[in-house]
Structure 1
Amino acid sequence: MDLVVGRIVKSHGVRGEVVVDVRTDDPDSRFADGSRLRGRLPKGGGEREFVVSGARDHGGRMLLRIDGVDDRGAADELRGVLFLIDTAAVDSGDDPDEFYDHELIGVPVTTVGGEPVGELTEILHLPGGDTLVVRTPQGREVLVPFVAEIVPTVTTERIEIDPPDGLLDLE
């Protein structure tokens, strides 16, 4: 399985830099000069290797220079590229409170009272905060804000939620 560590959002300037939405907790090493990145091209375009020739922080995102991308037109063509790593290359280590998304996908979700809610299918990283996507046994999706007040317990074995009134009303 692949883990997305970044996505090219757009070009920046006229010299071929790209703006990357960072999705890793270690951008300095993932996007360091000389790093080789496996990129999935948009719209079924396959995969390609990219080599970073420069990187700098840009307001919570990264600006990257990539070998062979020397002008705005070439940078524009890369919009939507996803930078990937194999999930086997990472794990959350010994900290019981830190997880990678892929370690939680498929984990059963219950209420703090023990009632089954469903299974975690995705974690959305939205500008307003992270959101859990839980698929119920009936096949519906429930969006759960991933905040401590609503999701007090998270392990790789189970996730407990304390939903506010109305969150689980599916009708």
Structure 2
Amino acid sequence: MMSKGSLMHTGDPQNDRSGAVSQPKSGQEEKEEVIETVGALPEDAVEVGYIADSYGLKGWVKVVPHANGRSGGDTLLSAKRWWLTKSRERKSAHCMQSKVHADTIVARLGGCEDRNASEALKGYVVHIARSDFPKLNDEDEFYWVDLIGLDVENEAGVALGRVTDLIDNGAQSVLRIESPRTDKDGKPVTGERLIPFVGVYVKTVDRAAKRIVVDWNIDY
């Protein structure tokens, strides 16, 4: 397929004395050059950041990722389709180009041609399909999104709760685990445990069984 802007020759010089015309754009190319409104996001859409500002004068946007590197931030550098949400708005955009800029990601989206267009996207939340995440190289590596919702138990089989979030303390990721408890009056309350996601504590992660086994005492 010829690239955008390439020329193809026609066999009828009566139509074009120069002997060349611009190649018509395919339906896919036209779709990639607009930011279109959609009814819903993909079922596996994952929120990965938000558009904080415009970048430069040629329609680039600046995205603050929720996580860095293998935590999920690198999806913004590999995924070609982004979904943008703000309030009840849902949009689909083709990511033409993206790169790291300090602690942010800057990107050029199809259909966003100037600074006015990019400024109109400020505040939109960015989602990427989980199926577009880069493949991990190590079986002991996990994306945060794949850990959230897993049940946690210790090596004695005692349930400790369920992962509701992860925290990056700068040195390591930490599992935030919520578990039902009772207070001194016997009323149900939600307790919280923070367990560092490191090998000394985390023994197995079984995504199929939706379970994490840790070396952690219930009284910790």
Global fold match (TM > 0.5): yes
Alignment correspondent of 2:112: 68
Alignment correspondent of 2:18: none
Alignment correspondent of 2:214: 161
Question: For the structure 1 residues 99 and 17, does the alpha-carbon distance in structure 2 shift closer, same or farther, using more than 3 Å as the test?
Answer: same
Question: For the structure 1 residues 92 and 15, does the alpha-carbon distance in structure 2 shift closer, same or farther, using more than 3 Å as the test?
Answer: closer
Secondary structure of 2:118's partner? helix
Aligned: 1:131 with 2:174: yes
Aligned: 1:145 with 2:188: no
Aligned partners of 2:84 and 2:90 also within 8 Å: yes
User: Bigger shift: 91-100 or 62-71?
Assistant: 91-100
Alignment correspondent of 2:40: none
Secondary structure of 1:137's partner? strand
Alignment correspondent of 2:24: none
Structure with bigger gyration radius = 2
Alignment correspondent of 2:34: none
Q: CA deviation at 1:38?
A: 1.3
Alignment correspondent of 1:39: 84
Q: Give the superposed CA RMSD.
A: 3.4
Residues paired across the two proteins, number: 159
Question: For the structure 1 residues 97 and 120, does the alpha-carbon distance in structure 2 shift closer, same or farther, using more than 3 Å as the test?
Answer: same
Aligned mate of 2:78, from 29, 33, 52:
29
Q: Which consecutive unaligned segments of at least 5 residues does structure 2 have?
A: 1-43, 66-71, 182-189
Letter in 2 for 1:65: R
TM-score, normalization: structure 2? 0.56
Structure with the larger RCO, 1 or 2 (CA within 8 Å, 6+ apart): 1
Cα distance per residue 1:7-64 (max 9 Å; x no partner): 323333454432223434444431xxxx3321122xx242112233432322353211
Q: Which consecutive unaligned segments of at least 5 residues does structure 1 have?
A: none
Question: For the structure 1 residues 123 and 50, does the alpha-carbon distance in structure 2 shift closer, same or farther, using more than 3 Å as the test?
Answer: same
Question: For the structure 1 residues 136 and 69, does the alpha-carbon distance in structure 2 shift closer, same or farther, using more than 3 Å as the test?
Answer: farther
**How high is the sequence identity, in percent, across the aligned residues?**
28
Q: Give the whole-Å Cα distance in 2 for the aligned partners of 1:103 and 1:11.
A: 31
Q: CA deviation at 1:122?
A: 2.6
User: Bigger shift: 15-24 or 85-94?
Assistant: 85-94
Cα distance per residue 1:110-130 (max 9 Å; x no partner): 123432211122334x36242
TM-score, normalization: structure 1? 0.68
Q: Give the whole-Å Cα distance in 2 for the aligned partners of 1:88 and 1:153.
A: 24
Letter in 1 for 2:174: T
Cα distance per residue 1:68-124 (max 9 Å; x no partner): 2511x5434433422223446669689642334443333221123432211122334
Q: Give the whole-Å Cα distance in 2 for the aligned partners of 1:114 and 1:81.
A: 43
Q: Give the whole-Å Cα distance in 2 for the aligned partners of 1:144 and 1:80.
A: 33
Q: Give the whole-Å Cα distance in 2 for the aligned partners of 1:61 and 1:91.
A: 18
Aligned partners of 1:92 and 1:99 also within 8 Å: no
Letter in 2 for 1:51: H
